Amino acid sequence: MDAYEEHVLGRLAADYRLESARDALAGLDEELRPAATAVFVEQVLTRLRRS
């Protein structure tokens, strides 16, 4: 399992869209960040389950 986790985290870290998402989240009002982060994580997990 460790190799798989490292592979997935490596793919996420290499994806330029992750940096864009981070920047977008950082630009939100502080009270909106938790909900926006939850939506983002949900989308990532959904895509991981499909692959």
Asked whether 48 and 8 are in contact (CB, 8 A), the reply is yes
pLDDT, position 4 = 87
Task: Of 46, 35, 44, 50, give the one whose Cα is nearest residue 9.
Answer: 44
Q: What domain count does the chain have?
A: 1
Contact status, residue 36 vs residue 25, Cβ threshold 8 Å? yes
Q: State how far Cα 50 lies from the chain centre.
A: 15
Residue 26: phi and psi, rounded to 5, are -65, -25
pLDDT tens, per residue, the chain with 51 residues: 789 889 888 888 888 888 899 999 999 999 999 999 999 999 988 988 887
Residue range of the domain that includes 30: 2-50
